[in-house]
Amino acid sequence: MPSLENLLVVSLEQAVAAPLCSSRLADAGARVIKIEREGGDFARNYDDVVNGDSAYFVWLNRGKESIVLDIKDSDDAALLGRLLSKADVFIQNLLPGAAARSGFGSSNLRKKYPRLITCDISGYGDSGLYADMKAYDLLVQAETGLCSITGGPEGPGRVGVSVCDLAAGLNAYSGILEGLFDRERSGVGVGVKVSLFGGMADWMNVPYLYQVHTGQTPGRHGLHHPSIAPYGAFPASDGKKVLISIQNEREWGRLCKDVFQRPELEKDARFDTPSKRGNNRAELDKMICANFARWPREELMTQLRKAGIACGALNEVEELVRHPQLETVGYGAPSGSVTVIAPPVEFTDDVRRYRPVPALGEHSDAIRSEFEEVEVMT
């Protein structure tokens, strides 16, 4: 049986962070009712590349039921109250204060429904100078300093996926699971608060500690490690790049003897310690490029793997699509069936069944009928 079967999650959600969180709960068997406004979650219209549907939406909204509500309308607000009276989890990522102004603030809901677990996802938290600021993903990447250490010497860059949103969604999922576990012992729900800024700042702890303890800002090195060498991308004879990582002296020796076929380089005074290799990076890189130019990428990777050298291909997304390790799953969506990359967690005794992505308001009538006569707890 799916681990969260028989749990009811009500999610007043939009965009990425909250939908990711609730989709993971749905994957685990929870019943997730997605509250959408008239016109729907705006992520439905981010693009139309998946048979007319948005890529983000079909990835993050499988297994949910969609109902359209106007929570400013008294009848719809009452219906939401009836849903929450039966819910185990309430998630919301509206603009700061919007849920509370509509009568659905988390602290008041937990007083009214003591077993309810609430999860508020915001950009910068609910207090402080930034609390009322909009927090789209790239803005938070910039504010947390992530952009400053991403890219190359020529300038900062953006991480190519919505990493701050995704971190917040996974943090919310983790917090809710802890809340559910705690409720099993205490019988009382808890409040979970997650912010995009807080999650990304947490992941920035290593550059933060580097800055605090050295007074220096970590540099941008593109596809090369800032301190370990050789650790980066180098072209093969066909122009395709291979990343290698040398972490210790044994690996350095094998690279010299088994790949370069130049055993004397192992004890070369320019390269015979990690610090010397780092200090003489330009010479080292030039020498590696000259040696790697003897083989096309696939043959080069074969040589590296035979020598026990950690390596990886610098793939394009089209190569990810064909990757031999990639696993996919399929399910229905409003514009037809879709195949996506499988979730990364596998369970030995649980074969997951992935339910479809809902059309806007697909379940409105059924949910209204089901919860029409439910009495609200007082």
Q: What are phi and psi of 311, to 5 degrees?
A: -150, 160
In b/e form, how buried is each residue of 72-111, taking b as 16+ CB within 10 angstroms? Answer: eeeebeebbbbbbbebbbbbbbbebeebbebebbbeebbe
Query: Which residue has 């007043």 as its token pair?
Result: 12
Of residues 213, 221, 224, 225, which has the active-site annotation? 225
Burial 11-40 (b: 16+ CB within 10 A, else e): bbbbbbbbbbbbbbbbbbbbbbbbbbbeeb
CA pair distance 236, 309, nearest whole angstrom: 16
For the question of residue 224 being annotated catalytic, the response is: no
Phi-psi region of 40 (alpha: psi -120 to 50; beta: other; left: phi over 0): left
Q: Which two tokens stand for residue 343?
A: 């979730």
Q: Judge whether 266 and 279 are in contact, CB under 8 Å.
A: no
Could you tell me if 165 and 185 are in contact, meaning their C-beta atoms sit under 8 angstroms apart? no
**Which residues are identified as catalytic?**
225
